[in-house]
């Protein structure tokens, strides 16, 4: 943190330290903020930036705490995901007042880009299925991540290939003057000619056809309340309509509840989140708490009726000498005795809720517990100039490299284990190994690992994404 202190202020501070009592010394360390300056926010409104600061013009700060407050504010600005990097500094004016500066490099907010992704849960599962290109999804996404300079997000997705999908979403983090209330909505229409209709021996079983096997449309509305800086509460209301071909319900009568090939329901959910991490994309220090309650089936005519609750706790520690450790826990419970259709049941194996070493497995169940623990070393961290690229949003590339060692464990409760022939449900799972993480701009995180598991399997894993 760079700071410039005029000589007269240094002499006054030294005199006060040597010749005046402790109460006066404490008073001498308190300095008012004269001004706050931002450089580089060509698109982003100033009000979006000041919302993330721990202070405002006119506040009086302790000189001993300024570095810490600036760092916390810099982190929050980075965690808006609006900037490639943020730098801060301060100096004292001749009158002994604080002048604070933030230097920002904005991301490229308006993007239209082609998409090529796999329909399988991860690269390794796709490779194990013979890596056929007909299991790919391709299309185009249009994204504006800072619409009107107010951190509003607009997203339009048009995809075809393994599945056909069109989705539109909009979110506005602040609709009130105090900048505490946010709203969002999304609509989604998807069709599939190839779907997983059951899980057998912890592996998804697919059926393909020349005709559409599943049609789904959904729409949702969300409301967000932000308290201070780190506490969020979200209320979501969503309606979903699903239809599958008769073939699916014949092959799996519990795909939906009963023998119907149609499912309609309203869902309401509440989420509380406390997020005090230094960098949400790849945190090294801090903590995060998540609690979520979801009720599926709100209306009397809804065809499903159950609730589930999930909770997560994550801690990130700086052990010194560029060594970091994280310990993350997540659990889910489902209403006891409730009938949960196969299509609405999720255990481990989806998204990041995976025991490393079990990437090829899907362990369905109504309840689970998962812990992921990682030791990492910061081998490299620099902003690399790429002068041959004319665009400033791309010619300064942040790059960090972390060798890792990890140990995960989990347990999944599955009531129909004999029917599904699950090998790994209702027993403790363990995974461990070594890896390498590469972090760069636009929230890109590449993860490579060599994991082992207590099922006697190991292999090389490549993935993109973040911790849960």
pLDDT digits (tens, 9 = 90+) for 351-404: 889 999 999 999 999 999 999 999 999 999 999 999 999 988 889 899 999 999
Q: For residue 25, how many C-alpha atoms fall within 13 Å in the half-sphere facing its CB?
A: 10
Question: Which residues are within 8 A (CB) of 204 and not within 5 positions of it... i.e. 6 or more apart?
Answer: 196, 198, 362
Among residues 106, 133, 161, which one ends one of the domains? 106
**Residue 466: per-residue pLDDT:** 58
Between 459 and 243, name the one with better pLDDT.
243
Among residues 106, 137, 167, which one ends one of the domains? 106
Q: Does residue 130 sit in the same domain as residue 250?
A: yes
Quote the percentage of the chain above a pLDDT of 90.
Answer: 78
Chain-centre distance for alpha carbon 305: 28
Give the residue-averaged pLDDT of 436-458.
91
Q: Does residue 167 sit in the same domain as residue 80?
A: no
Q: For 94-109, write each residue's pLDDT tens digit.
A: 999 999 999 999 999 9
CATH of the domain at 73: 3.10.20.310
**Residue 119: per-residue pLDDT:** 79
**Residue 136: per-residue pLDDT:** 86
What's the domain count of the chain?
2
Residue 458 is classified by DSSP as B
Q: Does residue 203 sit in the same domain as residue 296?
A: yes
Q: Does residue 69 sit in the same domain as residue 142?
A: no
Residue 331: give the domain boundaries.
110-464
Q: Does residue 68 sit in the same domain as residue 184?
A: no
Q: Does residue 75 sit in the same domain as residue 126?
A: no
Helix (H, G, I), strand (E, B) or coil at 24: helix
Place of tokens 């021996």: 201
Q: Distance between CA atoms of 346 and 362, rounded to whole angstroms?
A: 9
Mean pLDDT score of the chain, rounded to an integer?
91
Q: For 124-154, write each residue's pLDDT tens digit.
A: 788 788 888 888 899 999 999 999 999 999 9
At residue 47's C-alpha, the angle toward residues 397 and 145, to 5°, is 45
Residue 118 banded pLDDT, cuts 50, 70, 90: confident
**Residue 391: per-residue pLDDT:** 86
Place of tokens 């308190």: 30
At residue 399's C-alpha, the angle toward residues 395 and 402, to 5°, is 170
Residues β-bridged to residue 363: 348
> Which pairing describes strands 110-118 and 367-377: parallel, antiparallel, or unpaired?
unpaired
Q: Does residue 118 sit in the same domain as residue 80?
A: no
Place of tokens 């506490």: 231
Chain-centre distance for alpha carbon 154: 18
Among residues 106, 122, 154, which one ends one of the domains? 106
**Residue 370: per-residue pLDDT:** 98
Q: Does residue 221 sit in the same domain as residue 84?
A: no
Q: For 193-210, write each residue's pLDDT tens digit.
A: 999 999 999 999 999 998
pLDDT over threshold 80, residue 11 = no
Q: Does residue 117 sit in the same domain as residue 255?
A: yes
Q: Does residue 362 sit in the same domain as residue 399?
A: yes
Give the residue-averaged pLDDT of 7-20.
42
Q: pTM of the prediction?
A: 0.88
Distances (CA, A) of 394 to 92, 105, 201, 383, 442: 34, 10, 46, 11, 10
Give the residue-averaged pLDDT of 415-441.
94
CATH of the domain at 243: 2.40.160.50
């Amino acid at each position: 943190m760079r700071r410039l202190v005029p000589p007269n202020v240094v002499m006054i501070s030294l005199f006060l330290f040597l010749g005046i009592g402790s109460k006066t010394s404490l008073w001498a360390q308190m300095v008012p903020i004269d001004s706050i300056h931002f450089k580089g926010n060509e698109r982003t409104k100033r009000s979006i930036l000041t919302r993330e600061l721990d202070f405002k013009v006119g506040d009086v700060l302790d000189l001993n705490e300024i570095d810490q407050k600036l760092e916390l504010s810099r982190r929050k600005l980075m965690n808006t995901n609006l900037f490639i990097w943020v730098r801060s500094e301060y100096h004292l004016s001749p009158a002994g007042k604080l002048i604070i500066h933030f230097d920002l490099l904005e991301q490229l907010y308006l993007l239209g880009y082609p998409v090529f992704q796999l329909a399988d849960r991860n690269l390794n599962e796709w490779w194990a299925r013979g890596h056929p290109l007909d299991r790919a999804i391709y299309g185009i996404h249009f994204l504006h991540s800072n619409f009107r300079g107010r951190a509003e997000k607009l997203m339009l997705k048009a995809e075809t290939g393994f599945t056909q999908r069109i989705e539109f979403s909009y979110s506005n983090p602040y609709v009130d003057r105090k900048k505490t209330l946010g709203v969002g909505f999304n609509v989604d229409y998807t069709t599939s000619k190839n779907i997983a209709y059951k899980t057998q021996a912890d592996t998804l079983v697919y059926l393909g056809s020349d005709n559409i096997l599943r049609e789904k449309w959904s729409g949702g509305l969300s409301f967000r309340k932000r308290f201070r800086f780190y506490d969020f509460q979200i209320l979501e209301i969503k309606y979903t309509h699903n239809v599958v071909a008769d073939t699916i319900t014949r092959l799996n009568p519990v795909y939906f509840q009963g023998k119907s090939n149609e499912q309609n329901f309203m869902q309401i959910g509440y989420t509380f989140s406390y997020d005090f991490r230094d960098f949400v994309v790849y945190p090294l220090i801090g903590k995060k708490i998540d609690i979520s309650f979801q009720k599926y089936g709100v209306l009397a005519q809804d065809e499903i009726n159950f609730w589930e609750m999930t909770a997560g706790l994550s801690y990130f520690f700086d052990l010194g000498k560029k060594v970091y450790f994280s310990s993350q826990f997540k659990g889910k419970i489902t209403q006891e005795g409730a009938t949960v259709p196969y299509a609405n049941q999720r255990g481990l194996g989806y998204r990041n809720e995976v025991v490393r070493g079990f990437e090829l497995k899907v362990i369905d169940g109504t309840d689970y517990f998962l812990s992921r623990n990682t030791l990492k070393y910061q081998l490299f961290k620099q902003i690399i100039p790429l002068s041959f690229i004319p665009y400033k949003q791309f010619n300064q590339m942040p790059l960090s490299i972390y060798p890792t060692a990890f140990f995960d464990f989990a347990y999944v409760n599955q009531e129909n284990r004999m029917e599904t022939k699950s090998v790994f449900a209702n027993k403790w799972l363990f995974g461990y190994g070594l890896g390498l993480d590469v972090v760069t701009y636009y929230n890109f995180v590449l993860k490579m690992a060599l994991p082992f598991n207590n099922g006697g399997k190991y292999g090389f894993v490549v993935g993109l994404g973040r911790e849960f």
